């Protein structure tokens, strides 16, 4: 339908408003609303776009009660009738007042009776009862306006709505509030409960810089007034909470407060939390027979069943099982995780494709202070490498030809080795892993260097391990790989996944709602990419990244996990490197080439994440380009948009305020600047997140392939006679004891399964057209091209996975790389790119 034009009506006219209200069982819209309460209703007021030409003030609104006319399974419809006087002009907004005793979820309003077509208002918002929130809610039509183009009759409402959303920075936030404000991460620890649960405050200091989170205003701790107290629920603005279907899905098949029940239940099941697996057959039993759950106290089993119903299987009247689906890779090849080829391939097509980088300098050297950490020189020498790089006589020649690659977790982790090693049941090294690009286009692991700094009166220890065909060398290589895989798992979860998507996007969510009006075109472009992120982040602070949460319980970094992510933010994160092309160039995985597809030449041609990611990036970039150029034909329109400039300033100065002085922040002066900024945000929230999230169970569901912790040091590091003999006699047992404990492995497997799960109402990239886009013919046409291109990408990726020449994505035991395929069915699928960070 076309929206009404700007023609002023010369006759009075009758207009009907049809209001759709979502029916929510057990939340908000209760039965007394559905059945109706005498004298209670929704009150609507129509607002003209125009000022009164005589008084130059806003025209009087037209008010009417909305009466229920129809009730459907999931929706209640209301109707209101208005008599608009001649000269009222176009309706630009509707004010809504809720006289019912409970909040209602308003989906949309459609106005009928205008000569030029219906007027649509998409609401998708909770409206609080009048007695709780006396201010009327305002909803604008689908037509987008830059601030200077705002119709005169709507300017005050546009400005006042933003003031309300910003709040005044005071008071405790209620669950019904719609206020967006900033705070530091001072709620991860819980010193009130136990001083040992105190954690550093992240953000607001040079020592621990960090992005900002949403302010909750909770009271501060008695034990330390700098900390917020923790509560049973974490505030997010009301419209950021999951829609009911997603909330149900989240409670039953994704993370929720019930995850705490998983932790508590496992504690009850396993009295010895350090108990490991005695054999690989025991590990296989998790998939074949399941994990037997004895009777739990209280409603422990009920909570487990509520959180992970698809994992809990009733065995008989007296027993229940926690049974895991066998990951596809294990089904294809039971011993896939032992393969060096798979170890290397997953750096290009696994769950963390952001770690691998080109070796640009030789010899390798640390940049850390040698007075503190020991000699800077790497123990990986020419002699170690040159015997393995077939076709190249020297390391320098291989580097010149761009044949050497590396996972470098040396300088980032080494300062934490002595801290982590003080914690029972975990250990840590700084590590470097070198790979060689073979003529077949695959990576071959060459060497792993593990380093312990000078500590506890001992000098620095470092050793290089290389692939070995048999005996002790083979087991040492497997143990070294276990340490590296734990390092990569921690880097992936804390940095590639949490920090670089969830955490850094939250300030964008806050600033977008505080500074861009709901009728601003950039708000409407970004909103699908920002929905639900704050809710999942709040739940993360509640059970995943908090003190004694899932990460601290199960990852090698333990209580230093979030502190380490702050160090990574400080040392590694730059906004201008978050677009895929810039990230690839920065890591040496691509160079600019105007004659190559995407303007880039990949250093490794068969790099599945980059191959597929670049075509998705190009599609996003083209869609954003079309959209931005329509609303911003010249640089002066960018510079005169005070909402847009305030948005970008607040993101840099407040949301990422600890880095506001960095010179790499892009300027916002031209349409090209805005295109790059918005495309980067859209990429991070959609495809980057998908690449690091939805294959977590596929690759980590069999935990020997991606252990999250290595519990014991290498047997060659200052061994006692007994330790060395034990390793020589039972090397397999040494490996099993290095793996995560039963409770760590099982808990992580549950979490990874839930994180990898697509909700039934997932909104995938390009699948759904926002109503405001459909309202504008030019934008509608651009979106349809975008959507069509994403459908083409599905076929392109299928064709690539069928190409037997692409070894990194095809072959025996290899899971086809599908993480960049835009669409997915519900469940754990290893594909699908949702618009936003929803899990």
> Cβ-count burial of 582 within 10 angstroms (0-12 exposed, 13-18 middle, 19+ buried)?
middle
Question: For residue 337, which of 350, 348, 324, 353 has the smallest C-alpha distance?
Answer: 350
Residues counted in the chain: 839
497 is catalytic: yes
For residue 183, count other CB atoms closer than 10 A to its CB: 18
Cβ-contact 556, 709 below 8 angstroms: yes
Among 37, 41, 93, residue whose Cα is nearest residue 67: 41
Measured CA to CA, the distance from residue 133 to residue 765 in angstroms comes to: 35
The active-site residue, picked from 410, 487, 497, 688, is 497
Is 693 annotated as catalytic?
yes
292 is catalytic: no
Burial (CB < 10 A; 0-12, 13-18, 19+), residue 792, is exposed
**Residue among 339, 462, 361 at smallest CA distance from 406:** 361
Whether the Cβ atoms of residue 128 and residue 487 lie closer than 8 Å to each other: no
Contacts 24+ apart (CB under 8 A), 311-320: 311/750, 311/753, 315/290, 319/292, 319/293, 320/292, 320/293
Residue bearing tokens 């690091």: 692
Question: Given its phi and psi angles, is residue 377 left (phi above 0), alpha (psi -120 to 50 degrees) or beta?
Answer: beta
Please give the full DSSP string across 211-274, using - where no structure is assigned.
--EE---PPBPSS-TTSBPP-SS----GGGSPPHHHHHHHHHHS-STTHHHHHHHHHHH-S-TT
Strand order across the 42-48 sheet: 119-127, 104-112, 13-22, 75-84, 62-71, 42-48, 91-98, 137-140
Buried b (16+ CB within 10 A) or exposed e, 331-344: eeeeebbeebbbbb
Residue from 98, 527, 693, 753 carrying the catalytic annotation: 693
d(C-alpha 344, C-alpha 171), whole Å: 52
Q: Helix, strand, coil proportions of the chain in percent (round to 5)?
A: 40, 15, 40
Catalytic residue list contains 642: no
Which residues are within 8 A (CB) of 726 and not within 5 positions of it... i.e. 6 or more apart?
715, 733, 734
- Annotated catalytic residue within 120, 492, 502, 529: 502
Catalytic residue among 689, 753, 793, 815: 689
Active site annotation includes 629: no
Encode 149-171: b = buried (16+ Cβ within 10 Å), e = exposed.
ebbebbeebbeebbeebbbeeee
Q: Could you tell me which of 166, 153, 136 has the C-alpha nearest to residue 63?
A: 136
Q: Is 427 within 8 Å of 711 (Cβ atoms)?
A: yes
Longest CA–CA separation in the chain, Å: 100
Distance CA 452, CA 439 (A): 35
What is the phi/psi pair of residue 224, to 5°? Answer: -155, 110
Given a contact cutoff of 8 angstroms between Cβ atoms, the answer to whether 182 and 121 are in contact is no
Q: What are the residue numbers of the active site? A: 497, 502, 689, 693, 839
């Amino acid at each position: 339908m076309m929206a009404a034009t700007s023609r002023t009506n010369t006759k009075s006219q009758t207009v009907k408003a049809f209001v759709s209200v979502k029916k929510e069982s057990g939340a908000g819209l209760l039965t007394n609303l559905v059945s109706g309460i005498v004298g209670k209703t929704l009150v609507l007021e129509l607002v003209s776009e125009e000022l009164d030409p005589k008084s130059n003030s806003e025209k009087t609104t037209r008010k009417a009660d909305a009466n229920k006319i129809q009730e459907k399974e999931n929706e209640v419809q209301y109707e209101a009738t208005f008599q608009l006087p001649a000269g009222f002009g176009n309706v630009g907004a509707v004010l809504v007042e809720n006289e019912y005793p409970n909040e209602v979820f308003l989906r949309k309003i459609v106005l009928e009776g205008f000569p030029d077509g219906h007027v649509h208002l998409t609401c998708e918002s909770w409206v609080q009862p009048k007695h709780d929130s006396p201010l009327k809610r305002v909803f604008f039509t689908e037509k987008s306006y830059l601030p200077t183009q705002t119709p005169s009759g709507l300017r005050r409402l546009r400005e006042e709505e933003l003031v309300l959303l910003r709040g005044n920075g005071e008071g405790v936030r209620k669950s019904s509030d719609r206020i967006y404000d900033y705070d530091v991460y001072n709620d991860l620890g819980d010193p009130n409960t136990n001083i040992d649960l105190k954690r550093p405050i992240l953000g607001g200091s040079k020592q621990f810089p960090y992005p900002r989170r949403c302010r909750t205003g909770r009271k501060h701790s008695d034990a330390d007034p700098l900390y917020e107290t923790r509560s049973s629920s974490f505030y997010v603005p009301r419209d950021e909470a999951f829609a009911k279907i997603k909330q149900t899905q989240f409670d039953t098949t994704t993370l929720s407060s019930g995850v705490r029940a998983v932790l508590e239940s496992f504690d009850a099941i396993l009295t010895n939390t350090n108990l490991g697996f005695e054999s690989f057959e025991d590990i296989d039993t998790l998939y074949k027979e399941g994990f037997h759950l004895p009777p739990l106290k209280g409603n422990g089993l009920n909570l487990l069943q509520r959180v992970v119903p698809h994992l809990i299987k009733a065995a008989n009247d007296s027993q229940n099982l926690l049974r895991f689906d066998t990951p596809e890779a294990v089904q294809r090849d039971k011993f896939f995780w032992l393969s060096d080829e798979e170890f290397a391939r997953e750096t290009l097509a696994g769950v963390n494709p952001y770690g691998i980088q080109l070796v640009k300098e030789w010899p390798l050297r640390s940049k850390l202070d040698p007075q503190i950490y020991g000699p800077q020189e790497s123990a990986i020498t020419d002699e170690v490498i040159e015997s393995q790089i077939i076709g190249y006589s020297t390391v320098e020649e291989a580097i010149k030809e761009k044949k050497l690659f590396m996972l470098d977790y040396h300088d980032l982790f080494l300062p934490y080795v002595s801290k982590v090693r003080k914690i029972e049941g975990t250990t840590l090294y700084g590590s470097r892993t070198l790979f060689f690009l073979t003529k077949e286009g695959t990576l071959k692991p060459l060497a792993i260097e593990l380093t312990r700094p000078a500590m506890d009166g001992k000098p620095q220890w470092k050793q290089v391990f290389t692939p070995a065909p048999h005996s002790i060398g083979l087991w040492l290589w497997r143990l070294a790989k276990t340490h590296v895989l734990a390092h990569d798992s921690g880097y992936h979860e804390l940095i590639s996944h949490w920090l670089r998507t969830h955490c850094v996007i939250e300030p964008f969510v806050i600033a977008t709602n505080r500074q861009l009006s709901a009728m601003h075109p950039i708000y409407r472009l970004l909103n699908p990419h920002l929905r639900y992120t704050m809710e999942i982040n709040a739940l993360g602070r509640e059970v995943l990244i908090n003190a004694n949460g899932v990460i601290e319980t199960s990852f090698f970094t333990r209580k230093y996990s979030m502190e380490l992510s702050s160090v990574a933010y400080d040392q590694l994160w730059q906004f201008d490197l978050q677009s895929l092309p810039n990230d690839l160039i920065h890591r040496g995985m691509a160079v600019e080439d105007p004659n190559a597809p995407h303007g880039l030449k990949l250093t490794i041609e068969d790099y599945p994440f980059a191959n597929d990611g670049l075509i998705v990036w190009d599609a996003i970039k083209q869609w954003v380009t079309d959209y931005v150029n329509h609303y911003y034909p010249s640089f002066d329109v960018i510079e005169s948009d005070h909402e847009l400039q305030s948005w970008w300033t607040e993101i840099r100065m407040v949301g990422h305020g600890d880095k506001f002085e960095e010179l790499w922040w892009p300027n916002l002066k031209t349409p090209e600047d805005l295109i790059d900024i918005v495309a980067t945000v859209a990429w991070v929230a959609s495809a980057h997140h998908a690449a690091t999230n939805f294959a977590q169970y596929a690759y980590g569901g069999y935990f020997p392939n991606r252990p999250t912790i290595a519990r014991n040091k290498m047997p060659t590091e200052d061994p006692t006679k007994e330790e060395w003999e034990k390793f020589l006699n039972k090397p397999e047992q040494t490996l099993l004891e290095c793996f995560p404990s039963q409770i760590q492995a099982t808990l992580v497997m549950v979490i990874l399964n839930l994180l990898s799960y697509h909700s039934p109402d997932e909104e995938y990239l390009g699948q759904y057209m926002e109503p405001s886009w459909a309202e504008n013919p030019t934008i509608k046409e651009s979106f349809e091209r975008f959507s069509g291109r994403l459908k083409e990408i599905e076929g392109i990726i299928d064709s690539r996975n069928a190409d037997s020449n692409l070894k990194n994505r095809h072959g025996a035991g290899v899971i086809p790389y599908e993480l960049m395929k835009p669409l997915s069915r519900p469940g754990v699928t290893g594909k699908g790119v949702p618009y936003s960070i929803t899990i």
